[in-house]
Structure 1
Amino acid sequence: MRCAPLRVRAPITLGPTFGLTLGFAAVLAVFGPAHAQTGAPRTAPPPPPPPAAAPPSPEAAPAPAPAPADNAPIAGAPIAGADALDPDACLALVERDPQEAAEAARRWFRFGGGVPAAVCESLALEAIGALGAAALRLDLAAVSAGSAAAALHQAAAGFWLRDDQPEAALNSAEAGLAMEPGAALLLRDKAEALAALGRGAEALAPLDAVLEEAPQDVSALLLRARLRREAGEPEAALTDAETAARLAPEAPDAWLEAGAAQAALGRKPEAREALLKAVDLDRDGPVGEEARLTLQQMELGGD
């Protein structure tokens, strides 16, 4: 029996909330407030004027430096208005005009904004629907993010999954796990990517690890329920699905999985009740449609 993709995830929102709680917070905790803005601090006194000196002769004048590449950061270079593009300003600009925010973030990065500027650009790209580009920006930023790198890879994996690119999501998750082995969010993203690639048996081990650390992770419970059912373990699948339904009674996916497991066990009345609950909670959505299809298959004696 075909099953709708899972849509219930633990709260790791990847819009502007991501920028505040996972991106900028993680980055600034490592790099310090100096990376939140470029140029001189707002309250710093102006530097003293340099001593007067005779102008150099034309013969002694150095050759002009070559122009930097378009994406190369310019160390110490000022940028007009850069003191206004701190994390809060970035988030406000993303909400107001994400296209302008992306361009401002690129300028910020070129003039020394570093990882926070890259995170700002990724948020803007996500806001305009360029999820793959946003994910790639985070993965590239992680290279120079130090101890914040795993968090950026995890956010990138989430973007890749939302963009239906599970292979890229798996690569991001594994890159993060190489830095933080056992990180629950990265393990869950790895499991989701493996499941989407049809490698469900491999996804069970990371899910077990996630649920050992976070037994109330509804998304992990539902994914493991589906994989256990597909592996011919409907009793174990039902246990996970019913736990998820208790934790998130308004989640249609939980009732869909519970009904599918009951149907696999031949318990039609219980399956019918759970599947109808899924339909009620998602009448016009894909989970409700999947629940209706499962009901039809069950009534017709299908698998």
Structure 2
Amino acid sequence: MSKSPVFLTGCAGFIGMHTTKRLLDQGETVIGVDNINPYYSVDLKRDRLKQLEHPNFHFHEVDISDRQAMEKIWTTYEPKRAINLAAQAGVRYSIENPFAYISSNITGFLVMLELCRHQKDFANLVYASTSSIYGSSTNMPFVEDQMTAVPISLYAATKSGNELMAQSYNYLYGMPATGLRFFTVYGPWGRPDMAAFKFTKAILAGEPLDLYNAGKMKRDFTYVEDIVSGVVAAVNRKPTNKIGERHPIYNLGNNRCEDLPRIITLIEETLGKKALINNMPMQLGDVKETYANIDKAKAELGYSPQTTIDTGVPNFVRWYMDYHK
């Protein structure tokens, strides 16, 4: 009997592209969904899709909040596993465009939950959560069972809502789901609104880069290929049959708390060019520090990040220079 395909939303996104590619390399069939929205460069998203040209990849340009369109695709393939990476991302953008987050992150996620719960013999819905749901907590490193009911951005609130929605479907219907809290993902094909991308672009252009809170910020920077290893391990995990235990949540980070200026230094060294700094105040909705405890993911998923920023950041910069010629 052939293996059921993996239904993956957000396949033209940063993590979505890398995850799809890994699954295809492992012999999986992937049903990819993405609406190619213009939050950032549509050309970048189309170029990512070009990396996924494969006989086992079936792409559908659809918005996940479009219930009828999603049902039509789903019933065509009847997948038993799903990975929901489609979301309106970004803490700062959620302050400017809040309705985009409700449509994609809440309505779209509800559509996915409904599709999964009605699928016979459904095995697992893996979905992206975020380190942002820990809010401004200073209790570090963050552990999965600490309080997260204090989001300080709408983006974080929608992701916290996803975890609560999945938990309710787990309780009501016994629907297996796995939540993954990503910590500052970076790497080749990354998003233009993320620090490594913005810093590299500014330094190459000889323009000042905006450094918030005078650079007094720390992040658990996690290389994209390490994140993908966690996602793939999660979707292949066999959930327990006990109601209430079918919805584990894992931190996926690098288990290192890095100073933001260190990222700038690594970019400067790779480019052989110094940065011009424009010190800015702390941004509304942002946090000063993130740091993941990954013991649970190590024990239950075999998650073991391999790439430090000393390797990962130069990898990103080289990709950036090659991509932009």
TM tier, smaller: under 0.3
Higher strand share: 2
Normalising by structure 1, we get a TM-score of 0.25
With CA pairs under 8 Å and 6+ residues apart, which has the higher RCO, 1 or 2?
Answer: 2
Normalising by structure 2, we get a TM-score of 0.24
